[in-house]
A and B are shown apart, each in its own frame.
Chain A
């Protein structure tokens, strides 16, 4: 059963410079179906729109970002609700308890003047149920214990914890009200690999205990290989391939995905690695047709004219590329 549906989503950054209106097409016609109880990875080039997509999914749309079209739907179990159609008050109710968002660089968001347990209590007080509010102390302690973190962190100030521990505390905080969906943006970027592994283990553990859905964005393919069940590859504001983790790594279809997988260096191997040729596209003025066409070694005439539609080519494996599909996206 899908817990989150994204349909033809378009979100652009709109800026006016010298009186000329310009839009950065960061999310351009994206559709996704995310299942209950899965770890869904989103990968792609720097600046391709990953963080923007997450922001829109959790309903955080502030200027200059604006919603141009499409829909995001959450399956609450009873019916579908959309963050775009909720009042601020209703939205605040589901934030943390239904969907929880861990932004990029979040380990610095913990309040430096408050002990960690206070921060947990604040969240429970603002977003929890009456029942949860009554038991805020026990809930916090049990949660920390269940996640295998030392209880003494609760009595610490953020600066007393290492970056890796702060990051794990942020994850614990995001899941204190057992949300159905957790959305994490680059949760391990800029951490050493040992700490990174600890943080990811924690995320897996949370997912196992609460059977919720985890959406994780990172450009680090090794992280996806280790924890994602399914992966979406994004290029220039669009999803170009979606599939099971194994299929993406062992049988990538889209020429861009192939570059992404093959450019990865390995310890013990000093052979020259080439990066994808050409420059990443501008989202202000993206290339016509398939956005990868100026860099694609397999480019055909149709690629410059039409936009390939994301289409299923194998069970659970979809690609947007004319090598595999004739379907054209309507613009």
Chain B
């Protein structure tokens, strides 16, 4: 894959925003890959957790905000618990979701679910998915 790295992207306010919302120092990551190795959801992801951190360092805004991975993450904290540099990757992914959700770009359309579909799942599932996927 061909990628363009530029000073403009790295200095984009987007990078600062991620750091601010997640409370994480993205530059601490040295790309060991342990986060991705432990993640149970990688088979469904287009960008792996360690790549998310790398893209975030480099300000790859479109790639990140259009990725499937940010809606696949289950906030299970396995990545956080394995990172030797103490980076909370799940928080970085939450920040990416938040950037979209705060512009009302919802991922889940609860209003389109039928009554049966909603009744089928317990409140704990509905509430948590709405908390993660809607604004």
B is a partner of A: no
Q: Which residues of A contact B (CB under 8 A)?
A: none
B residues with a Cβ closer than 8 A to A are: none
